[in-house]
Structure 1
Amino acid sequence: MSRTVTVVLVDAAGRPLGALPPFDVPDPWWQQVASVVDGARHRYGVDVAVLRLLDADRPHPPGGHVRYLAQLTEVSAAVAPVMPLEPAAVDLAPHPLRQPWAEPGGPARSVAWATDELRRLGRPVTAVAQQRTWNLSAIWRLDTPPGPAWLKQLPPFARHEPAVLTWLTTLPLPASPASPVDQGVCVPVDLPGDANSLINDGGVGPGVLGVGGEGLVLLEDVVGEDRYGAGERERAAISAEHHAVQVRAVGAVDGLAAVGVPDLRGARLAGWIRRWLAGHDVSAAARLLDGLDERLRRVRDCGLPDTLVHGDLHPGNVRGDGTRRVVIDWADAFVGHPAFDVLRLAEGLAAPAAARLVDAWADRWRADVPGCDPRQAADLLRPVAPLRLAAGYAMFLAGIEPSEHPYHAFDVPAALAQAAAEARR
């Protein structure tokens, strides 16, 4: 599957110039714009910065014919009058929910900040390539002599990610002899050697090079490939490594919540879900919502401690090079129940393999928290996991401008239907 794209151009002041003729790009996902930038350069000889989605000929991604608003860079502005531009009707009115990177001049300001930060670190930037832009983030690759760095810009509801990454990459090694997690309070434990090395090497998240205003964060490169195709064996290893991090995080939850990581512990989760789903048609999951408080009380009685939750721990959010794995994209992180991550990691596996993954996860928690019932907690939270996702998608919709609603509008009812189906099992 591919996309056909139309790029509507504006100048640095936001004045409309017209549109480039439509062209095809190989990747179908609307937020991926590297191929759009490359296509404009190679076909029409102009450098652009894609600002935002304008509209599409289908209600949701991927594929189809998609229109983007893009700004000519300073290099290309001088040749704008000779380009084969076509008339384009476009609404350029401001919107209060528009992100800084979606405005003319926004990408240039973001890249200038990152370039200055890298220069200060002795890493002059030799090339910049825009990778992604949508309502959840904007991402650029910046090449430097020691290797690439990555600039990520986050919307207000995801700006806790740098705090999470900073905490992850400074995890301390045990300072005292081994102790188990006792009655929901975590004290230093003696982790397996590989897990200690993982933490000591900073392998649990990308290194943070700098944090700026308006959601800017500059990250070290993570070598490898996204592990979308990971099978049962690799997911089991990811789960074991992530468990070591979550055990360490139990004692840090108050501090993480204090620096802005969403606090979805216990009853707070029910309130958060209801808040964001208000105004949406929740009839498919009404029975689950009615019993949510009692269900979460039963989860609490299973005896597992709250910890740092990644929030979207599918294999695509893990990068590996064959010898080392790093969990990336912590923008959905929150403080809450550890079962949410293993349930997400198990998605897409055949039922027997998923059950083995959850059983191994449960065995680790039983060893660290004697007397707890992890399997029961996971079973109780199985329908709550997609319910939480539905509320998260609703939060995205409430925080983005209408032209970008197609990214998530269908996710809310789909997740509610999944939650209802899980509750019936």
Structure 2
Amino acid sequence: MREIRALVTVGGRFVGEAEPFTVDSPWWNDVEPVTARLDRDLGVTTSVLRLVGTTTPAMRDGVVTYQVEADRVPDRGLTTGGRHAVGDHPLRLPWARPGGPAALVGWARGHVDVTGPAVQVKTWNLSCLYRLPTARGNAWAKATPPFMADEAEVIRLVASVDPSLAPVLLAAEPGRVLLAEAPGVDCWQPGADVVERIVPRWVAVQAALAGEPRLRARGVGVPDFGLPDTLLHGDFHPGNWRSGGVVLDWGDAHWGHPALDAARLIGFVAPEMRAAVERVWVDAWSRHFPSSDPASALRHARPASHLVSALVYQEFLDNIEPSERVYHLGDPEAELALAQSSAV
């Protein structure tokens, strides 16, 4: 549970603070329940711009203060006493600045016919996500930072091999994608049937795209054991899968050894599922490269995957403004410790 403090601004000007309230969802970047309550209490349309501060260090719970943008000055529900600095920062991302969420929604509306209000679902230093209802189902407008991969480019690469594995791209421009609804639900705790439906298809895409790098490499090597470097999802855990067979969130994509994706996945699934996931992955690569030794590659990839994660988290910290670094503080050090403890 979170206690919410909202510093309300209009056009970048602080106009008051909303009465504190709580929401059941503990996750700081889950802002749909926050704006729903604020819209009701203040009688305006709001968007969360950014995290200002928290009382806990771990992405969830506690007292959380946000800078919130309203489409007009509310005539109720605000405490106007006190002053709060809401100045800019050079690392602030476009959707965290005044007018940023509205610009994302306005761009999306230029590409689909929206049948109802756009809903801000998530926002933090890695993305801003809106759900837009249309006659053909929901569309999803997503903004991402320049230090992450171009999701549209990666989706097109994946779709060139297996269109059903990637979300349908409705529109794109630098830093923004508009996606069709991916069927199903998120697969945080996948069964064997889901693993067997998604992992071999992703391996087939990687096998087809192997060769000259088309994205940057992270610089962490794994002995090849007969397997080629290829496109990596970068965050290939089951929470980024949909039960309908689509894989989401390609912003961490890069080029490297495919066992790094498998190691990331195995680290996320329940302990009783790990052997089954490894078997499916090893069997899939063995079919594409019969003379390879995927199992040995995976043993080396487990500590290496934590080194990759340490690099990624440090990149986040280097490129986000101070108030939002709390999302990732300590993560590089934790990943380095895991790399050391899991070394072959």
- TM-score tier (shorter): over 0.9
Partner of 2:285: 365
Q: Is the 8 A contact 1:141 1:151 kept in 2?
A: yes
Partner of 1:102: 96
Bigger drift between 409-418 and 360-369 goes to 360-369
CA distance in structure 1 between the partners assigned to 2:115 and 2:98 by the alignment? 22
Q: Is the 8 A contact 1:396 1:408 kept in 2?
A: yes
Q: Is the 8 A contact 1:166 1:207 kept in 2?
A: no
Partner of 2:78: 84
The structure-2 alpha-carbon separation of the partners of 1:50 and 1:345, relative to structure 1 and needing over 3 Å to count, comes to same
CA-to-partner distance for each residue in 1:271-326, whole Å, 9 max, x for gaps? xxxxxxxxxxxxxxxxxxxxxxxxx47x03x1211111111111110011xxx311
CA distance in structure 2 between the partners assigned to 1:89 and 1:412 by the alignment? 35
Partner of 2:121: 131
Residue 225, structure 1, aligned to residue 222, structure 2: no
Partner-residue secondary structure (3-state), 2:154: helix
Partner of 2:216: 262
Partner of 2:202: 242
Residue 314, structure 1, aligned to residue 308, structure 2: no
CA RMSD of aligned residues (A): 1.8
One-letter code of the match for 2:130?
W
The structure-2 alpha-carbon separation of the partners of 1:32 and 1:337, relative to structure 1 and needing over 3 Å to count, comes to same
Partner-residue secondary structure (3-state), 1:237: helix
Question: Following superposition of structure 1 onto structure 2, how do residues 19-418 of structure 1 map, counting pairs within 5 Å?
Answer: 19-73=17-71, 77-78=72-73, 80-118=74-112, 123-171=113-161, 199=162, 202-213=163-174, 215-251=175-211, 253-254=212-213, 257=214, 261-264=215-218, 269-270=219-220, 296=221, 299-300=223-224, 302-320=225-243, 324-349=244-269, 353-418=273-338
One-letter code of the match for 2:7?
V
- TM-score, normalised to structure 1, is 0.77
Percentage of pairs with the same residue = 36
Partner of 1:290: none
- TM-score, normalised to structure 2, is 0.94
CA-to-partner distance for each residue in 1:101-152, whole Å, 9 max, x for gaps? 001111111111111122xxxx344321111110000000111112211100
Partner of 1:284: none
Q: Is the 8 A contact 2:237 2:268 kept in 1?
A: no
Residue 81 of structure 1 deviates from its aligned partner by 4.2
Residue 343 of structure 1 deviates from its aligned partner by 1.4
CA-to-partner distance for each residue in 1:364-404, whole Å, 9 max, x for gaps? 32232232221111111110111110110000000100000
The structure-2 alpha-carbon separation of the partners of 1:124 and 1:58, relative to structure 1 and needing over 3 Å to count, comes to closer
Partner-residue secondary structure (3-state), 1:127: coil
When you count strand as a share of all residues, which structure comes out higher? 2
Residue 342 of structure 1 deviates from its aligned partner by 1.4
CA distance in structure 1 between the partners assigned to 2:87 and 2:114 by the alignment? 37
One-letter code of the match for 1:39?
R
CA-to-partner distance for each residue in 1:404-425, whole Å, 9 max, x for gaps? 00100121221111111101x6
Residue 349 of structure 1 deviates from its aligned partner by 4.2
Give unpaired runs (5+ residues) of structure 2. Answer: none
One-letter code of the match for 1:93?
G
Bigger drift between 233-242 and 49-58 goes to 233-242
CA distance in structure 1 between the partners assigned to 2:156 and 2:200 by the alignment? 21
CA distance in structure 2 between the partners assigned to 1:382 and 1:390 by the alignment? 13
Q: Is the 8 A contact 1:313 1:341 kept in 2?
A: yes
Partner-residue secondary structure (3-state), 2:313: helix
Residue 34 of structure 1 deviates from its aligned partner by 0.5
Q: Is the 8 A contact 2:19 2:77 kept in 1?
A: no
Partner-residue secondary structure (3-state), 1:28: coil
Q: How many residues end up aligned between the 2 structures?
A: 344
CA distance in structure 2 between the partners assigned to 1:148 and 1:126 by the alignment? 10
One-letter code of the match for 1:103?
R
Q: Is the 8 A contact 1:21 1:86 kept in 2?
A: no
Partner-residue secondary structure (3-state), 2:317: helix
CA distance in structure 1 between the partners assigned to 2:14 and 2:152 by the alignment? 35
Partner-residue secondary structure (3-state), 2:283: helix
Partner of 1:8: 7
CA distance in structure 1 between the partners assigned to 2:187 and 2:272 by the alignment? 21
CA distance in structure 1 between the partners assigned to 2:76 and 2:4 by the alignment? 21
One-letter code of the match for 2:3?
T
The structure-2 alpha-carbon separation of the partners of 1:347 and 1:58, relative to structure 1 and needing over 3 Å to count, comes to same
CA distance in structure 2 between the partners assigned to 1:53 and 1:339 by the alignment? 35
One-letter code of the match for 2:167?
P
